[in-house]
Amino acid sequence: MFGIVRPCRHGMCGGLFKEWMAHLCGLCLALRDEHGHAARLVTNYDGLLVSVLTEAQAPASSPHRRAAACALRGFKGADVVEAAEGVRLAAAVSLILAAGKVKDHVEDGDGVYARRLVAAGAGRVATRWSAAGSGTAAALGFDPAPLLVAVEEQTRLERLPDPALLDLTAPTEAAVAAAFGHTAVLAGKPHNREALEEIGRYFGRLAHLLDAVEDLAADRAAGAYNPLAASGTGLADARRHCDDALHGLRLAVAELDLERRHLVHALLVKETAHAVDRTFAQANRASGEARPDSPEAPPRDPRVKPDPGGLLSLLCMSAACCTCGLYRPPWDEDRYKSCGERCDGSGCDACGQCCDGCSGCCECCNCSCDC
């Protein structure tokens, strides 16, 4: 699993969380049915936003079905989004972006990818995923070029001396904008396309910046490339860019013509804001910098063990992906947190924390919620 939108059942109303899980499981099953079991490894939180946006614009375009018991759901059945156009586009986007991410690791020789056999195998898998995603995208009338060239353009920009930060985020912004914009075509609402592309650009910028912030300390220690370090951008300036993107995202979401708005608002407005707060709280704690208006970051849990790296780390990461986060290795801080602490660090005692953006109370407040 990767992505910045990571809601949990205690930070979202029960009905909305079930809808989100329907898209997540639908994406996983679409990848399995169309591209094989190994493709399920690219299931990610942000990719399913494509499916969510398609259904929000035209619910009839995303029929649901009852799925059989699955080990990743604790051997329980579930309501899932059927492999319609929206979830198939989400699968295609996930495959292409995951392929690009793997190719980038191979080219940079990151971690285990520095080993020739691992790099060769990963390169072949990435090529296969890219071809499969491009084939599905073409069948849906989507031009995958912005996604395919994003990694190449990113590599070119990273070789420039003294690049501007927003120039470095531009390829990611263009890729996400293209994917989000095409959901308007699938839903039969072309008038939404401009706003969706704007949402994609802001969301792509946030995803790129938060990834850079999360990796900043590790990249500095390893001497690896990081957009913030390369552009001379500090955490305060990076936070300002993120806050600007969040503001633009809220305004663009408000412009959309949607038949179902609640889940889109919960994910693209509420959860992205939580992601920004969470990421910068951790980064400020790691760097020793303080920000007056940022949430107080808790001290590091002494139970968290250091990441050993190498094959063991890779195997544990694969196990975490295959179990949708049910298994977490000893070096994952979330392993020792309650579900409420993973949401925003405050738990779920206050109804105002749990139900922000909803029309009523939610399950963690011992109330009911139909939103």
**pLDDT 10s digits, 12-34:** 777 888 899 999 999 999 999 99
Dump pLDDT digits (tens) for 69-85.
Answer: 887 777 888 889 988 89
CATH architecture designation of domain 14-294: Orthogonal Bundle (1.10)
Distances (CA, A) of 164 to 169, 207, 230, 232: 9, 17, 9, 9
SS3 of 79, please?
Answer: strand
**Residue of 329 and 142 predicted with greater confidence:** 142
Two tokens, residue 221: 């220690």
Give the SS3 label for residue 202: helix
From residue 192, how far is each of 32, 57, 86, 179, 272 by CA, in Å?
30, 9, 15, 13, 21
| Residue 152: predicted pLDDT | 84
Q: What is the Cα–Cα distance from 320 to 334, expressed in whole angstroms?
A: 12
Question: Taking the CB of residue 93, how many other CB atoms lie within 10 A of it?
Answer: 31
Q: Which two tokens stand for residue 329?
A: 């290795």
**Residue 113, both tokens:** 């990818």
Q: State residue 110 phi and psi, 5-degree precision.
A: -75, 130
The reported pTM is 0.79
**DSSP 8-state symbol, 300:** P
Q: How far is CA 96 from the centre of its chain?
A: 14
* Whole-number pLDDT of residue 290: 47
- Averaged over 312-340, what is the pLDDT? 66
How is residue 300 written in tokens? Answer: 């590091």
Report which of 338, 328, 245, 242 is spatially closest to residue 283, judged by C-alpha positions: 242
Residue 284's Cβ-side half-sphere holds a number of Cα atoms within 13 Å equal to 21
Task: Using alpha carbons, select from 319, 316, 331 the residue that is nearest to residue 41.
Answer: 319
Place of tokens 């898998």: 125
CB 27 within 8 A of CB 47: yes
- Cα separation of 178 and 83, whole Å? 21
Spatial contact of 293 and 300, defined as CB atoms under 8 Å apart: no
If we measure between CA atoms, which residue out of 167, 154, 170 comes closest to residue 231? Answer: 167
77-131 pLDDT, tens digit per residue, is 888 998 889 999 999 999 998 998 888 888 877 778 888 898 899 999 999 999 9
Q: Which amino acid is at 299?
A: P
- pLDDT at position 107, please? 80
What integer pLDDT is reported at residue 289 of this predicted model?
A: 55
Count of CB atoms situated within 10 Å of the CB of 330? 13
Q: What is the pLDDT of residues 57-70, one digit of tens each?
A: 999 988 999 988 88
pLDDT, one tens digit per residue, over 155-194 is 899 889 989 999 999 999 999 999 999 999 999 999 999 9
Q: Which of 278, 251, 282, 360 is nearest to 15 (CA)?
A: 360
Listed residue (174, 166, 133) closest to 150, CA to CA = 174
Q: Is 149 helix (H, G, I), strand (E, B) or coil?
A: helix
Measure the CA–CA gap between 335 and 148, rounded to whole angstroms: 35
Residue 360 is predicted with a pLDDT of 39
pLDDT digits (tens, 9 = 90+) for 255-304: 999 999 999 999 999 999 999 999 999 888 877 654 444 444 445 567 77
E-only strand ranges, the chain: 64-70, 76-81
From residue 239, how far is each of 233, 299, 309 by CA, in Å? 10, 21, 29
- Token pair recorded at residue 231: 């552009």
Measured between alpha carbons, how far is 170 from 184 in angstroms, rounded to an integer? 22
Measured between alpha carbons, how far is 154 from 170 in angstroms, rounded to an integer? 8
